[in-house]
Structure 1
Amino acid sequence: MLLLLALFIGTLTGCGVWMLLRARTFDTILGLTLLSYAVNLFIFAMGRVKVAATPIVQKGVDATLSTTADPLPQALVLTAIVISFAMTAVLAGIALRAHQHAGSDHVDGR
């Protein structure tokens, strides 16, 4: 399971970097989106992937010995999803405005 998750994160990162290096604005926006997905999965995986784990520590249970899931990476990923959605909307608006102004969607303006 963890190997599959690591391969998926690596594939998303590689595709995101490749799309980011393209010369078109839409490809750049798509590359940034793929990179944000990869970072979100990486942060989520740092909280240790546990199946059927309780998300909250019960009273009287030692937190170091328990098999609970860590809620901090989940909160960070939820925040990052909202920020990346807003950033994608801003970048799409800038790209549309630049396309209307320059008549082309190349990053360097050609």
Structure 2
Amino acid sequence: MELLLAITIGLLYASGVYMVLRRSMVKLIIGIILIGNGVNFLIFLLGRITKGSTPIISENSDTFLEAYADPVPQALILTAIVISFGLQAFAIVLIKRVYKVLNTDDIDRLSHTEDYDIL
């Protein structure tokens, strides 16, 4: 299972970097989304995949006696998903507005906006 996740992380990173290097703003955002999902999988993998009980210590003992699931990576991933969803929604609206005003999503053409009548 860990090998499959490692291969998936590598594919997400590779495809994300490939998409970021394209000239289209839409492909740039898709690449950032793929890299973000790769980071989430990486955090999940680093937290170790174990089947265990909840991390609650009973009143009779001072330490964990059996395997438990670590909640910290899961909480970090959940927070990252919420933040990235807000960022993606903002970026999509921004790209839509830029395309409506300038009729292009080519990054090279957007750097020379003096040819466009923006107002």
What is the TM-score with the length of structure 1 in the denominator?
0.90
Rg comparison, structure with higher value: 2
Question: Which residues in structure 2 correspond to 1:61-100 (within 5 Å)?
Answer: 62-63=63-64, 66-100=66-100
Q: What is the CA distance between 1:56 and its match in structure 2? A: 1.8
Q: What is the CA distance between 1:61 and its match in structure 2? A: 5.8
Q: What is the CA distance between 1:10 and its match in structure 2? A: 0.6
Structure 2: which 5+ runs fail to align? 111-119
- Give the total of aligned pairs: 108
Aligned to 2:114: none
The AA in structure 1 aligned to 2:63 is D
Give the Cα–Cα distance (whole angstroms) in 1 for the partners of residues 18 and 82 of structure 2. Answer: 24
Structure 1: which 5+ runs fail to align? none
Aligned to 1:57: 56
Q: Secondary structure of 1:54's match? A: coil
Give the Cα–Cα distance (whole angstroms) in 2 for the partners of residues 9 and 55 of structure 1. Answer: 27
Regions of 4+ moved over 3 Å: none
What is the TM-score with the length of structure 2 in the denominator?
0.84
Over the aligned positions, Cα root-mean-square deviation in angstroms equals 1.4
Q: What is the CA distance between 1:107 and its match in structure 2? A: 1.5
